[in-house]
Amino acid sequence: MSTPRGNRRDEGVREKQRPASQRSPAEWFTLALSGLIVGTILALLLFQLFDGGREAILAAEVDLQGVREEEGSFYLPIVVRNSGSGPAERVKVEVIDESNGEPLAEIEFEDVAGESRLEAFAVLDREPTSGVRAVVTSFEQP
């Protein structure tokens, strides 16, 4: 049997479809808080995407196959790679003879851009052997 106001199921449906202006203060508070949380998460993600993680990751290596001799000096190619997204300044690389730990040369790179590769030459007075390596000893992040 139905009442003049309709059955109870219809009343429940009508109640859920009330206009937004009839929302309770608790619903408005929950909506605002949810929006604030979602907005904060989106802002942090955008910051990380465009500015975060801008660090330099440096590695140096020698290329013994590319050594050349000219007028009694040996030119040893040194490669510096920055695999990070941030730049590095005043990158110091030391070429070391591993047999005795003696430094053979020091090279300074003024600027190394993010995700780049630079090559320089260490000029040595004796032919480098297989026990030569290059290490990054210091750098600055702008």
Q: Which residues of 47-56 are buried (b: 16+ CB within 10 A; e: fewer)?
A: eeeeeeeeeb
State pLDDT tens for residues 60-119.
999 999 999 999 999 999 999 999 888 999 999 999 999 888 999 999 999 999 999 999
- Short-list 88, 91, 75, CA closest to 136: 91
Non-local (6+) Cβ contacts of 115 within 8 A are 82, 83, 84, 85
Quick check: 91 and 112 in contact, CB under 8 A?
yes
State pLDDT tens for residues 44-56.
888 877 766 678 9
State pLDDT tens for residues 31-41.
999 999 999 99
pLDDT of residue 54: 75
